[in-house]
Amino acid sequence: MTQPEALKVLLEAISTGEVSPAVALDKLKHFGFEPVGDFAKIDNHRSLRTGFPEVVWGQDKTPQQIIQIIKTMRANHPVVMATRIEREVYQELRESIPDLQYYPVAKICAISSPETLPNRIGKITILTAGTADIPVAEEAAVTAELCGFQAQRLWDVGVAGIHRLLSNRHVIDEADVLIVVAGMEGALPSVVAGMADCPVIAVPTSVGYGANFSGVSPLLTMLNSCAAGIGVVNINNGFGAAILAGQILRAVQKVNPDVPVPAAIPESKDKWTLAYGVSAEGRGIEGKLETLMTAVRRGAEVRLAIDFPGSHEYITEAQHLWIKKGVAFAQASTQVNVEFNKTGLMFPKKILSWTILASTQGDLEIARWRPGKHKFKGRTSHKVAIRWFVR
């Protein structure tokens, strides 16, 4: 029986009630491929089984094979991705697929858009020991982003200058999963695993010479690490590390189904949409915090509506945004007709220009901002109701 015939039989069984939709879905997980010429069979249902779609391995395939595979896949896949694509191969691919995107450092081709990317929970942080490890790390980072995760990058923090890593301790603390990429002797994952409270995925690279044996030396170092909680993937396998990190985060969602899935960012470029509102007591009262976080991470514009005590609501657009330990911060300049007495209480007065720092915990600090530094000079702190809008 051919695949179309088998699918027809299954659909007829559903329509007559012989097979429930749940059973049918389970059956669909195990059959569903599409031939491409006589050289490939696309696994259309891989995402049903594993959570992630099939990705094209570009190395060792001809450009024409890659073109045919991508063209076939895009009909059923919102995001299509191919790894290990050299620039000259990409130029040839683009002649047949004009909207094909290219990530030159990662050597990844993709067809995607912000609207088609999935929204997934969790931050995958990628570290490299050296600058030469960045191509493998970028393969991991781009893969994570195309799978819908937030990817944070921290390059060149190897053990030869350990102070570089220690000065970025907060990056490790904020990660949900860490991917640590290292060549030479491969010591960095062990150091990071001794500092982190999350899974660490070690990626050995072929960077090195002599007794490095094209990556075997760091591979063995990572496999023999005395730090607990390290998983190791193959040499130069940034892609595999990102998928493993994604599976870990998906498993967390299964165990904790009440964790909210990030909402999509509003598609309208003209209309401001309320993402999150917080009371003066720091309680979320409107929208979802994760909706705002997703918007901030993807570069959306943010507008603040601040309810100053004893006055009316002031609206200003954020000029700088950042996230630290699950809290979003916004810095903006505004004109507010309030002044502060010696006790720090606000009262109406003349129009004054202030710089504000607001957080999703309802904190508001007002002062003269020192450009280039996330610090205030002569600041006063308040708890106010703030509504965060995005577009």
Q: Which CATH architecture fits 123-255?
A: 3-Layer(aba) Sandwich (3.40)
Q: Bigger pLDDT: 376 or 127? A: 127
Taking a C-beta distance cutoff of 8 angstroms, is the pair 48, 25 a contact? yes
Gap between the Cα atoms of 202 and 223, Å rounded? 9
| Residue extents of the structural domains in the chain | 32-111, 123-255, 273-390
Gap between the Cα atoms of 384 and 364, Å rounded? 7
Q: Bigger pLDDT: 14 or 329? A: 14
Q: Bigger pLDDT: 27 or 73? A: 73
With pLDDT > 90 as the criterion, what percentage of the chain qualifies?
A: 22
Gap between the Cα atoms of 305 and 332, Å rounded? 11
Q: Which of the 8 DSSP states describes residue 265?
A: P
For 346-380, the pLDDT digits (tens) are 444 444 445 667 778 777 776 544 444 444 444 55
pLDDT for res 111 = 84
Gap between the Cα atoms of 247 and 269, Å rounded? 33
Region 220-230: what's the mean pLDDT? 91
Judge whether residue 124 has pLDDT over 70. yes
pTM, to two decimals: 0.61
Judge whether residue 196 has pLDDT over 50. yes
Mean pLDDT score across all residues of the chain: 78
Judge whether residue 218 has pLDDT over 90. yes
